[in-house]
Amino acid sequence: METPANLFSLFLESLGGRTSRFCEQLSDSVVLDTPITGKAVGRLQSEDALNRLSAWFRDYNARLEYGRTVAGSDGYAAAEGKAFLQLDGWDVGVPLAVAMDLNPSQKLTGFRLYHTLWPVKHAHTLRGPLFDSERATLPKDVADYHHALENGDAAKAAGLFESDGTVREPSGGISGGRETPLSRFFEWAFQAGGVSLHYHRLVDSGSHVAAEYTCYRWANKEIPPQAGMEFWDRSDSGLFRAVRIYDDVEQPS
């Protein structure tokens, strides 16, 4: 049986064209969903979607980089990586994340890929919600972060981070760190109001947390519900060291 970390490595391998080993890990009832191919139900549809997804990444001569896997004890796991796409003669890094649902045999029953298409299309691509009414129970620090986002409270949001904490946006831009206070990022993000999310699935390893969400309001405006994923790194103090966001949501004007 493959571990979640190995499954993610096989997925990255499949994006390079070697899909067979990853396809062997799909259950007959698997549901696969990606920004490129949409939703596929069952193994045959998912294998076809995976081949089309692999062709898309190979069209950009993608170089894939493994990041980190966060696994729980309930058959749910998340992982991060990066694809370097050749665009106009440049290698452009596109952060990507996956969520995996595993049965007791460690076969995939669900696989969801998250990344922005902004670097390729120079426009945001609406991706509808992937969950209905399911809600995750949030640990206190993530719940505090969630409330700060919803209330547009820049000071509270920044206060949940270490002094050199960072937020990485979907296209890879990093705000905060030692040079620039993270509060400036949140003040910009909340200039017209907060961001409202429903969190659906969550995995918490202690030092790392990952969750899938639906964003449905930003800047006090209802927006089409859109899927996303978020990762948090905790420091020894209990504050956040970093947050990384994976979605294609456009800030309302």
Taking the domains of the chain in order of start, what are their residue ranges? 4-115, 140-247
pTM to 2 decimals?
A: 0.96
CATH 3.40.720.10 corresponds to the domain 4-115: no
Q: Can you give the pLDDT at residue 179?
A: 72
**Strands across the sheet containing 26-34:** 38-41, 26-34, 108-114, 90-102, 76-87, 63-71
State pLDDT tens for residues 65-93: 999 999 998 999 999 999 999 999 899 99
For the record, the structure tokens of 213 come out as 């969400």
| SS (HEC) of 182-207 | HHHHHHHHCCCCCEEEEEEEEEECCC
Residue 181: which pLDDT band, with cuts at 50, 70 and 90?
confident
Kindly list the distances between the CA atom of residue 47 and the CA atoms of 14, 105, 146, 149, 229, in Å, as whole numbers in the listed order. 11, 19, 36, 38, 23
Given a contact cutoff of 8 angstroms between Cβ atoms, the answer to whether 165 and 185 are in contact is no
Alpha carbon distance 74, 68 (integer Å): 18
Given a contact cutoff of 8 angstroms between Cβ atoms, the answer to whether 70 and 78 are in contact is yes
pLDDT surpasses 80 at 253: no
Across the chain, mean pLDDT equals: 96
CA nearest to 159, candidates 186, 189, 191: 186
Q: Which residues contact 173 (CB under 8 A, 6 or more apart)?
A: none
Alpha carbon distance 10, 6 (integer Å): 6
Is the fold of 4-115 the same as that of 140-247?
A: yes
Q: Can you give the pLDDT at residue 209?
A: 99
CATH of domain 140-247: 3.10.450.50
Alpha carbon distance 110, 112 (integer Å): 7
Strands 38-41 and 26-34: antiparallel
State pLDDT tens for residues 194-238: 999 999 999 999 999 999 999 999 988 999 999 999 999 999 999
Residue 251: which pLDDT band, with cuts at 50, 70 and 90?
confident
**Residue found by looking up tokens 């899909």 in the block:** 19
Region of 172 (left: φ > 0; alpha: ψ -120 to 50; beta: rest) is: left
Classify residue 253 as exposed, middle or buried by CB count within 10 Å of its CB (0-12, 13-18, 19+).
exposed
pLDDT surpasses 80 at 178: no
